[in-house]
Amino acid sequence: MKNEIETIELFNEKADRLVHSRFWQHITTKGLRLRLSSHGKPNLAAPDNDATQAFILTLRMFIQNNEPISLHNVCRLFEASSHLDDQKKKELREARDRLNQYLDSPAMCQFKKGRTRRAILDFFIYGDLAHTNARKRRDFKEAHSQPWRKYCYSYEFLEIITTIVRFILCCKKEHEKILTKHST
């Protein structure tokens, strides 16, 4: 029980860090836009690179299964929790399934046939922003080989991590209910 509460508190603390980041503030106030200029040059209105890299350092904790607050581990925690009724567990399981379906679905940018959103997430994070896995680095460089590809993949990557954060915030909301019950 104590370990469960500590994990939930850590999850919420890191979720708050995401929400209060410059990256998320840009997303929620200015949004993302990918446009073509009058000269046909792509233009991506998005958070700056420093804000994105700082954001990814925290987001990694939610997507790497070796972390106690990874979405995978927290969903397992939900399943075993005595604080959630079966209906709420079912809703959270279905929400996680929808997130995984989204990640495993074909990417909007199909410069390489069959590429999924999860593959884009992986080659940005593990091929550039947080790691340098050789295969993922090659995929990242290939995705950035031409200006239009670079902007298209960058836009999609930002959309993907925004979707993941929205799921994290849904989990945080459930965590807050559990913490409220636990403190009374």
Q: What is the block-wise mean pLDDT of the chain (184 residues), using blocks of 10 residues? A: 85 97 94 75 80 95 95 89 84 92 91 86 91 88 84 90 95 87 74
What's the Rg (C-alpha) of the chain? 18
Strand, helix or coil for residue 42: strand
Phi-psi region of 69 (alpha: psi -120 to 50; beta: other; left: phi over 0): alpha
Q: What is the pLDDT of residue 89?
A: 87
pLDDT of the residue at 83: 77
Given this model, what pLDDT does residue 96 score? 92
Structure tokens at 80: 């075993």
pTM for the structure as a whole: 0.89
Asked whether the beta carbons of 45 and 151 are under 8 A apart, the reply is: no
Give the CA distances from residue 116 to residues 85, 132, 139, in Å, rounded to whole numbers and listed in that order.
34, 20, 12
167 neighbors 174 (Cβ within 8 angstroms) = no
- Going from N- to C-terminal start, the domains of the chain cover 2-183
Structure token digits, residue 50: 């420093």
pLDDT, residue 1, reads 53
Q: What does the chain come to in residues?
A: 184
The pLDDT of residue 179 = 84
Cβ(61)–Cβ(69) below 8 Å: yes
Confidence (pLDDT) at 184: 66
